[in-house]
Structure 1
Amino acid sequence: MTFATSPNAAALFTLGGAAILTALIVPIVRRLGLRWDLVDTPDPRKQHTRPMVRLGGVGIVIGFSLALTLTWLLGGFADLPPDKDQLIWTTLAGALCFFVIGLADDLFALPPLPRLLGQLLVAIAVWGEGVRIGSIELPFGLFGSAPYLVLPDGFSLLATVIWLVGITNAINWLDGLDGLAAGVSGIAAVGLLSVSFSLHQPAAGLLAAALAGACLGFLRHNFNPARIFMGDGGSYFLGFALAAISIVGPAKGLTSVSLLLPILILSLPLADMSAVIMGRLSEGRSPFYPDRRHLHHRLLRAGLSHRRTVVLIYAFTQWLAALALVVANAELRFLWLALATAVLVGVVVLARRQMQQERS
């Protein structure tokens, strides 16, 4: 059996394999975490009320890596040109480095600045190996007849580092409720998978498929009530992988359309992070100051239950991913958008009805 001539089958196999492997590995990680007392203790800012193992990212990374290895052995990456092959390996190496930074924080409670410095150094190294935002297509013939605006290295480096580090921390800050970061990352990964294949970037699509499967398998143990947390290791890995896949896949070359796709798919965590940073700075506090001003905290204070808050954010993320599919001209795009809109409207109606019932 080989996937060299069947990228769609390779994507389905990778997604399913990652989901099954992650779902099987995470309980083992949980037992080891309990045995070694590697747990996250409750505090007033957190939602959980009992110590929880926060090493779920280890299971995500192992399931992701094993699924990709099987796909590679079956020929899923056989037709990659050398330049694309280097980008894939650089993406994987960068994701593992970010995972190590997060894992170190899970184990040793690193201060924010050393973590940020490590992220910046890895992002710069990844840029140096070719995973970069390098050019933008100019619509309507702006700046003469040249169709592309090639970014100078300084601007390219700045844009790439901001994108990689920004998305990583946006996913990390979203990890405040059971299943929230894993679910949003999984939906975003499915969106990147669909868009990558629509734009004929199957290698990036396979990475996104493995990421989506790992998120799905982890949700088996992380959806409310969670039995394990992914920790910073898991959220850093997911965030960087999403950001890097969007560069080597949908945004490769950064045309005026493809640039919009990853921004659409990941706009919810980006908007949440931006609002939180601006709120903290306006009060004269550090951007790293922990508080309860995230979107999920606001929805909880508005009266939504834990699960309905998570599902509502899922619905918004799926709707944004459907918009990206429409822009990408994916097959059945209008069906995707209609289904996503129906889900979004249904969730909003149910959430409002629950709030009215509780108030009455």
Structure 2
Amino acid sequence: MFKIFVDLFLMVIIQVAITPFIRRLAFVLGAVDNPNARRVNKKPMPTIGGLGIFVTFNIGCFILLREQFPTHELFSVFLASSVIVLTGMIDDILELKPWQKMAGIFVAALVIYYLAQIRMTELNIPLTNQVINLPWYLSLPITIFWILALTNAVNLIDGLDGLASGVSCISLLTMGIVGYYFLRNQGLYVPIACFMLAACLMGFLPYNFNPAKIFLGDTGALYLGFMISVLALKGLKNVTFISLVVPIVILGVPISDTIYAIIRRKLNNKPISQADKHHLHHQLMRLGLTQRQTVLVIYALSLIYSFVSMLFLLSPVWAMAMLLIGLLIAVELFVESIGLLGKKYKPLTKLIGHLVLHTATSKEPHVEVWHQGQAKPKEWQERSKGGHKPEAKADQSKNKK
């Protein structure tokens, strides 16, 4: 274990040393991100920062910690991730169309399914002991969708200095802790790989945090999303309800931002693939937060998701259900408060306000007040006709005295 810690520290040092060379290479290749309407950066920035992470991670896999990984899976994942990095580099230099990037991710996902044989094969139905064996025509699309969805989710949040790299680092550390302490059935090399990739990001963040000297680029964002999806999938080979929910919650920030982006574009009758400037980080900055403050707030959100994911593993089913419901309500209220789907979209806030108002008014005593000169209430008139005025009892008590 001590050797593993030493090697992880060496990977941080290697990443710190290699990033300046990747930065120079980006200028040579023309992998530069120029400012535009969607970008926050005010000057041209070198991209392909993810290339350095790819190189450092594979130095760790093939040299420093080679004995930790099965040969077949190691080479298959390396091949698939090379396809992802190549796709990202071409996009950073030439700007691919969305379908072309999706094609690259799709090819890499097929390599993972057929060569690495990392796939979803079984599904455990919650609250029962029933296990469903997934045939290939279900296993294949579910696996491909998982990889495509998580890869693009991480790519979508890469909009501020240090955002995608920091959130990915938090997610990977959480996945490593969860894998080491709770899900060791697939061996220790999955959590070790999570810690290795997190170590690479720790070495990269000093160059990527605001003010950034280099961006991840699609090279890095796609690579991180892809590797996170594959590492999570490896831990989900035999899928139970808990092990399915945990990585989704861990990656709650990019996944929820992606889901709300799709909903927002559908509500505005825009193509799902059309980029906009209304993501989570954009909305927080509209509230007056600086880049650093926005990134730190999203880091905090990611830590909350990570903490909840670990509570899932320690909770009985009923408590897990309550946690999930509470988390969904909290996310929706937060989304409505920052206007992620628009300023007028506040259904849950309005519903809660209506219920609170209704509860408050129903508890207030009903008091009727009659002012002189106004018509008497009907019941007072009826009592007056019967000789029972409200003042009658008081007059009678005075006469007796």
TM-score range, shorter chain: 0.7 to 0.9
Which letter does structure 1 place at the counterpart of 2:171? A
Which letter does structure 2 place at the counterpart of 1:133? M
Q: Quote the residue 1:340 is aligned against.
A: none
Q: Quote the residue 1:61 is aligned against.
A: 54
**Which structure has more RCO (C-alpha within 8 Å, separation ≥ 6)?**
1
Q: Pick the aligned partner of 2:41 from 48, 52, 65.
A: 48
Cα deviation, residue 329, structure 1: 4.6
Alpha-carbon distance between aligned partners in 1 of 2:228 and 2:303, rounded to the nearest angstrom? 15
Q: Please state if 1:119 is matched with 2:105.
A: yes
Q: Quote the residue 1:18 is aligned against.
A: 11
Q: Quote the residue 1:257 is aligned against.
A: 242
Q: Pick the aligned partner of 1:323 from 282, 298, 308.
A: 308
Cα deviation, residue 18, structure 1: 2.3
Unpaired runs of at least 5, structure 2: 316-333, 339-401
Q: Quote the residue 1:76 is aligned against.
A: 68
Alpha-carbon distance between aligned partners in 2 of 1:174 and 1:301, rounded to the nearest angstrom? 16
Which letter does structure 1 place at the counterpart of 2:237? K
Alpha-carbon distance between aligned partners in 1 of 2:130 and 2:203, rounded to the nearest angstrom? 43
Alignment of 1:338-349 (within 5 A): none
Q: Quote the residue 1:356 is aligned against.
A: none
Q: Quote the residue 2:118 is aligned against.
A: 131
Q: CA RMSD in A?
A: 2.1
Alignment of 1:116-265 (within 5 A): 116-129=102-115, 130-141=117-128, 147-198=130-181, 199-200=183-184, 201-249=187-235, 251-265=236-250
* TM-score, normalised by the number of residues in structure 1: 0.82
Which letter does structure 1 place at the counterpart of 2:212? A
Cα deviation, residue 147, structure 1: 3.4
Question: Any conservation in 2 of the 1:14–1:206 contact (CA below 8 Å)?
Answer: no
Alpha-carbon distance between aligned partners in 2 of 1:59 and 1:120, rounded to the nearest angstrom? 23
Which letter does structure 2 place at the counterpart of 1:285? K
Moved over 4 A (4+): none
Cα deviation, residue 139, structure 1: 3.2
Q: Quote the residue 2:280 is aligned against.
A: 295
Alpha-carbon distance between aligned partners in 1 of 2:145 and 2:120, rounded to the nearest angstrom? 10
Which letter does structure 2 place at the counterpart of 1:226? A
Q: Quote the residue 2:89 is aligned against.
A: 103
The structure whose Rg is larger is 2
Q: Please state if 1:32 is matched with 2:18.
A: no
Which letter does structure 2 place at the counterpart of 1:161? I
Change beyond 3 A, Cα 1:282–1:232: same
Alpha-carbon distance between aligned partners in 2 of 1:196 and 1:241, rounded to the nearest angstrom? 15
State the secondary structure of the residue aligned to 2:241: coil
Change beyond 3 A, Cα 1:328–1:87: farther
Cα deviation, residue 88, structure 1: 4.0
Alpha-carbon distance between aligned partners in 2 of 1:125 and 1:88, rounded to the nearest angstrom? 12
Which letter does structure 2 place at the counterpart of 1:259? L
Change beyond 3 A, Cα 1:329–1:17: farther
Question: Any conservation in 2 of the 1:18–1:211 contact (CA below 8 Å)?
Answer: no
Alpha-carbon distance between aligned partners in 2 of 1:69 and 1:10, rounded to the nearest angstrom? 15
Cα deviation, residue 10, structure 1: 5.1
Cα deviation, residue 97, structure 1: 1.5
Provide the identity percentage. 31
- Report Cα offsets for 1:141-175 as digits up to 9, x if no partner: 3xxxx631112212211111111011111111110
Alpha-carbon distance between aligned partners in 2 of 1:238 and 1:189, rounded to the nearest angstrom? 10
State the secondary structure of the residue aligned to 2:242: coil
Unpaired runs of at least 5, structure 1: 1-5, 331-347, 353-360
Q: Please state if 1:281 is matched with 2:273.
A: no
Q: Which shows bigger deviation, 131-140 or 306-315? A: 131-140
State the secondary structure of the residue aligned to 2:68: coil
Q: Which shows bigger deviation, 173-182 or 315-324? A: 315-324
Alpha-carbon distance between aligned partners in 2 of 1:194 and 1:93, rounded to the nearest angstrom? 27
Alpha-carbon distance between aligned partners in 1 of 2:252 and 2:234, rounded to the nearest angstrom? 18
Q: Quote the residue 1:310 is aligned against.
A: 295
Which letter does structure 2 place at the counterpart of 1:184? V
Q: Quote the residue 1:335 is aligned against.
A: none
- Report Cα offsets for 1:233-260 as digits up to 9, x if no partner: 11110000000000112x2311222112
Change beyond 3 A, Cα 1:118–1:35: closer
Cα deviation, residue 60, structure 1: 1.0
Question: Any conservation in 2 of the 1:14–1:209 contact (CA below 8 Å)?
Answer: no
Alpha-carbon distance between aligned partners in 1 of 2:7 and 2:258, rounded to the nearest angstrom? 31
Cα deviation, residue 207, structure 1: 1.3
Alpha-carbon distance between aligned partners in 1 of 2:32 and 2:171, rounded to the nearest angstrom? 28
Cα deviation, residue 57, structure 1: 1.1
